[in-house]
């Protein structure tokens, strides 16, 4: 079962229309473009809920999910989330004070958690259990357009929307635009204008009551070929007649004006036809970015109420597109982004560098998508950039580093050696490349001296390593220290190697 609604950050301008489904212990959040967030279900924390909304914590940030169908969402989705949440609160109409101020952007919160994790034993020793940690692996949502067409309310049909924008079918018979118009007319909503681009319909005009706007949007979600609805309907002033948007030019004047609008942005080879207020545009363009620009230009033409956008991106060999996209990303400083091309569809993967979070995660992800979308031959982009690093990769790299160059100390000493500093320089680079993950620093000693003395000495060794890593630029709240003393010798009779510090990934 799927649940559609708005996912809101503190600033309403950053709200997202999503469709949520639960499958195999994972919460899938899908946008109309096909971009998906794959979130481990046991990493989603329920803060509170009311009759109309659920407050969640994702990666340490508080967001609100406002479902379109509260009864279904709160009756089915909420129990699944509560069952796996280790700090859920009871339902309330007013709700307790927010534990966190909701962020303006959905970015990673690297603040110190209230509870320190317990340390696992070193490799080869009995492991101490880890408490559950609220760690969420998020994939970057696709571009949330802040320019051009202002996003209002998007209603998404059930099911995953795979991939990116799909070109409107050129087959015979009525297309989505005609079917949408017919559905509105049959319901008596003749004053509502509809424009269809690909699989997204946009409603414009005025209505006399809010339920008419909801009815119009709901009707179109059931129209074959339409996967999303942008609802721009406005309420008419009391006593004023409802309208279907701007006054309509008549063809061929409308076709000529639309053609001129495209020519003004450099698209002079497209064929534009008009039937009443409906415009059909065919031809080829160089990239998806140009195709989107064409759509925006047509929307600005007075009298255009429906758009059948049949512009196609001129094919370019995937190898060529990959090379040009890679060069463009490198030129703009996006070396951390990996791009692959399959039949003109670009997929962006990688971990956003920690420094990029200063400007906001979405700004980084949006800019990377813009760069690739502008390349010739790109028909669309799947944005899979991640907010956090990969714990398994970080763990393996740190273990490999310390296996070849252990961090050891002199007898009874906690001062770092020159060789130890070299190893820690490498560790700092590895940790910095995997943002959002916490690292445990475990101090050890040999059996020389009392147990109490050795416990204190191992603490001092771990503290020295932590301080050095902080000086190399690692955030202090990502480093957790534990003192094992003489409890875990590295191997029998290997006292020099017992005087060491090791790493583990805390998540």
* Cβ(11)–Cβ(24) below 8 Å: no
H-helix or E-strand spanning residue 484: strand 479-485
Tens-place pLDDT, residues 327-336: 999 999 898 8
Tens-place pLDDT, residues 458-469: 999 999 999 999
Question: Using alpha carbons only, how large is the chain's radius of gyration in Å?
Answer: 28
27 CB burial (10 A radius; 0-12, 13-18, 19+): buried
Residue 139, CA distances (Å) to 18, 108, 328, 351, 414 in order: 14, 12, 22, 9, 41
pLDDT band at residue 36 using 50, 70 and 90 as cut-offs: low
- Whether 2 shows a pLDDT value over 60: the answer reads yes
Q: State the pTM of this model.
A: 0.38
Q: What is the mean pLDDT of residues 331-346?
A: 91
Scanning 233-303, the segments in alpha helix (DSSP H) are 253-264, 288-299
Tokens linked to 112: 């110190």
- Tokens 């061929």 belong to 252
Length of the chain: 507
Q: Where are the beta strands (DSSP E) in 286-344?
A: 306-313, 338-342
Tokens linked to 275: 């039937």
Give residue 226's pLDDT. 82
- DSSP for residue 13: G
The percentage of residues in the chain with a pLDDT greater than 70, rounded to a whole number, is 70
Bond into 252 cis (ω within 30): yes
Report d(CA 155, CA 14) in Å as an integer.
Answer: 17
Cβ-proximal residues to 446 (8 Å cutoff; 6+ apart), any chain = 411, 454, 486, 489, 495, 496, 498, 499
Report d(CA 344, CA 166) in Å as an integer.
Answer: 12
Q: What is the mean pLDDT of residues 429-434?
A: 86
Q: Which of 466, 379, 474 is nearest to 429 (CA)?
A: 474
Q: How many CB atoms lie within 10 A of CB 300?
A: 11
Q: Are strands 45-49 and 36-40 parallel, antiparallel or unpaired?
A: unpaired
* Cβ(270)–Cβ(255) below 8 Å: no
pLDDT band at residue 420 using 50, 70 and 90 as cut-offs: very high
Residue-averaged pLDDT of the chain: 74
Q: Please give the domain boundaries of the chain with CATH numbers for all domains.
A: 2-85 (2.30.29.30), 183-233 (3.30.300.130), 253-313 (3.30.1340.30), 318-388 (3.30.1340.30), 391-506 (3.30.1330.60)
């Amino acid at each position: 079962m799927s649940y559609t609604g708005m996912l809101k950050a503190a600033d309403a301008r950053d709200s997202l229309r999503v469709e949520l489904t639960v499958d195999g212990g994972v919460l899938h959040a899908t946008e109309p473009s096909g971009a998906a967030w794959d979130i481990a279900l046991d990493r989603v924390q329920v803060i509170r809920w009311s009759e109309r909304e659920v407050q969640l914590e994702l990666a340490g940030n508080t967001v609100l999910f406002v479902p379109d169908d509260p009864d279904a969402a709160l009756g089915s989705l909420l129990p699944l989330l509560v069952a796996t949440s280790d700090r859920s609160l009871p339902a309330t109409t007013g709700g307790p004070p927010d534990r966190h101020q909701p962020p303006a952007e959905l970015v990673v919160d690297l603040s110190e958690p209230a509870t320190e994790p317990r340390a696992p034993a070193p490799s080869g020793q009995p492991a101490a259990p880890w408490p559950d940690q609220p760690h969420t692996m998020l994939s970057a949502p696709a571009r949330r357009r802040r320019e051009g067409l202002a996003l209002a309310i998007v209603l998404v049909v059930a099911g995953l929307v795979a991939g990116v924008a799909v070109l409107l079918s050129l087959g015979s018979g009525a297309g989505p635009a005609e079917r949408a118009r017919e559905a509105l007319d049959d319901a008596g909503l003749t004053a509502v204008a509809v424009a269809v681009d690909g699989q997204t319909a946009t409603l414009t005009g005025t209505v006399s009551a809010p339920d008419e706007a909801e009815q119009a949007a709901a009707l179109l979600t059931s129209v074959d070929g339409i996967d999303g609805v942008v609802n721009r309907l406005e309420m008419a002033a009391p006593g004023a007649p409802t309208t279907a948007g701007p006054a309509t030019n008549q063809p061929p004047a409308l076709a000529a004006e639309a053609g001129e609008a495209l020519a003004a942005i450099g698209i002079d080879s497209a064929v534009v036809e008009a039937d009443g207020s409906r415009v059909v545009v065919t031809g080829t363009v160089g990239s998806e970015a140009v195709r989107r620009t064409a759509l925006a230009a047509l929307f600005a033409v007075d009298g255009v109420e429906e758009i059948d956008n049949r512009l196609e991106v001129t094919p370019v060999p995937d190898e060529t597109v990959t090379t040009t996209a890679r060069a463009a990303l490198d030129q703009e400083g996006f070396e951390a982004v990996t791009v692959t091309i399959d039949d003109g569809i670009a997929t962006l993967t990688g971990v956003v560098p920690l420094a990029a979070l200063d400007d906001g995660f979405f700004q980084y992800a949006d800019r990377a998508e813009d760069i690739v979308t502008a390349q010739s031959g790109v028909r669309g982009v799947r944005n899979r950039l991640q907010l956090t690093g990969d714990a398994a990769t970080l763990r393996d790299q740190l273990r490999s580093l310390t296996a070849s160059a252990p961090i050891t100390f002199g007898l009874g000493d906690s001062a770092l050696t020159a060789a130890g500093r070299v190893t820690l320089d490498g560790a700092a680079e590895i940790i910095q490349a995997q943002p959002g993950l916490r690292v445990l620093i475990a101090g050890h000693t040999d059996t020389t001296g009392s147990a109490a003395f050795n416990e204190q000495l191992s603490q001092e060794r771990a503290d020295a390593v932590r301080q050095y890593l902080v000086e190399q630029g690692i955030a202090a709240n990502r480093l957790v220290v534990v003192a094992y003393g003489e409890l875990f010798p590295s191997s029998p009779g290997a006292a020099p190697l017992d005087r060491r510090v090791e790493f583990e990934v805390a998540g």
